[in-house]
Chain A
Amino acid sequence: METIVEAVELKKTYLLGKVPVNALDGVNLKVDSGDFLAILGPSGSGKSTLLNLIGALDKPTGGKLMIEGTDISTLNDNQLTDLRRRVGFVFQFFNLIPRFTARQNVELSMSIADVGKSERIKRANSLLETVGLKDRMEHKPAELSGGEQQRVAIARALANDPKFLLMDEPTGNIDSKTAMEIMGLIKGLNEGNGVTVIMVTHDQRLASQSKKTVMMLDGSIVQETVN
Chain B
Amino acid sequence: MRARDVLSYSFSAIKLRKLRAGLTTLGVVIGIAAIVALLSISQGLQSTITAQLERGFATDTLIVTAGGGGGFGMGGGLGGGGDSGFQLLVSDTQTINGLPNVDSSVAIMQRVVNNVSVGGTNKTGTVTGVDFAGYLDIYGDTFKASNGTIPIPPANDSIVVGKQVVDPRLNGTTIAGVNDPIGFTWINATARPPTTITFSGHISAVLNEIGSFGVGGPSDSGVYVPISQAQILFETNECDMIIVKLKSSDQAVIDNASSAIKNAFSGEVSVISATAVLGIISSIFSVIELFLGGIAAISLVVAGIGIMNIMIVSLMERTREIGILKALGTKSRTVLLIFLSEAVIIGVIGGAIGIGLGWVLANVVAIVFRGGGAFAGNQAAVNGGMTITPILTPTVFLGAMAFGIGVSVIFALYPAWRASKLKPVDALRYE
Contact = CB atoms under 8 A, between A and B. Distances in A.
Contacts of A95: 320, 323-324, 327, 428
Given A57-B425, A100-B12, A89 B327 contact: yes
Contacts, number: 60
Interface residues of A, number: 26
Contact of A97 (B324, B329, B423): B324
Interface in A78-130: 78, 81-85, 89, 91, 95-97, 99-100, 108-109, 111-114
Contacts of A108: 328
B363 to A, nearest CB: 40
Nearest to B12: A99
A209 interface: no
A52 interface: yes
B12 A81 contact: no
Given A111-B5, A112-B1, A114-B2, A84 B425 contact: no
Interface in A20-57: 52, 55, 57
Contacts of A97: 321, 324
A112 B321 CA distance: 14
Interface in B387-431: 423-425, 428
B1 A57 contact: no
Given A99-B16, A111-B5, A89 B332 contact: no
B327 A57 contact: yes
Nearest to B423: A58
Contacts of B5: 111
A112 B328 contact: yes
Nearest to A120: B5
A71 interface: no
A99 to B, nearest CB: 5
A145 B323 CA distance: 23
Contacts of B330: 81, 112
A57 B330 CA distance: 12
Contacts of B325: 112
B331 A78 contact: yes
A138 interface: no
B131 to A, nearest CB: 81
A153 to B, nearest CB: 10
Interface string B1-12: 110010001001
B5, B323, B326 interface centre (most CB from chain A within 10 Å): B5
B299 interface: no
A160 B323 CA distance: 18
A77 interface: yes
Interface in B159-211: none
B2, B5, B328, B334 interface centre (most CB from chain A within 10 Å): B328
B19 to A, nearest CB: 15
A2 B324 CA distance: 29
A108 B238 CA distance: 88
A96 to B, nearest CB: 8
Given A82-B329, A84-B327, A95-B327, A112 B424 contact: no
Contacts of A113: 329
Given A57-B428, A95-B320, A97-B321, A89 B1 contact: no
Contacts of B329: 81-85, 109, 112-113, 160
Interface in B297-314: none
Contacts of B9: 111
B172 to A, nearest CB: 65
Interface in B1-40: 1-2, 5, 9, 12-13, 15-16
A109 B328 contact: yes
B328 A89 contact: yes
A89 B323 CA distance: 12
A77, A81, A85, A114 interface centre (most CB from chain B within 10 Å): A81
A207 B285 CA distance: 80
Contact of A112 (B12, B16, B334, B425): B334
Nearest to B4: A117
Contacts of B327: 55, 57, 84, 89, 95
Given A95-B320, A112-B1, A85 B12 contact: no
Interface of A: 52, 55, 57-58, 77-78, 81-85, 89, 91, 95-97, 99-100, 108-109, 111-114, 156, 160
28 contacts: A55-B327, A57-B326, A57-B424, A57-B425, A57-B428, A58-B424, A58-B425, A81-B326, A81-B331, A81-B332, A84-B326, A84-B329, A84-B424, A85-B328, A89-B327, A95-B320, A95-B428, A96-B324, A97-B321, A97-B324, A99-B13, A100-B12, A108-B328, A109-B329, A112-B325, A112-B329, A112-B330, A112-B334
Given A84-B328, A112-B329, 20 more contacts: A52-B425, A57-B425, A58-B423, A78-B331, A81-B326, A81-B332, A85-B328, A85-B329, A89-B327, A91-B428, A95-B323, A95-B324, A95-B428, A96-B324, A99-B12, A99-B13, A108-B328, A109-B329, A112-B1, A112-B325
Nearest first, the 10 closest Cβ-Cβ pairs linking A and B are A85-B329, A84-B329, A111-B5, A57-B424, A109-B328, A58-B425, A95-B324, A57-B425, A112-B330, A99-B16
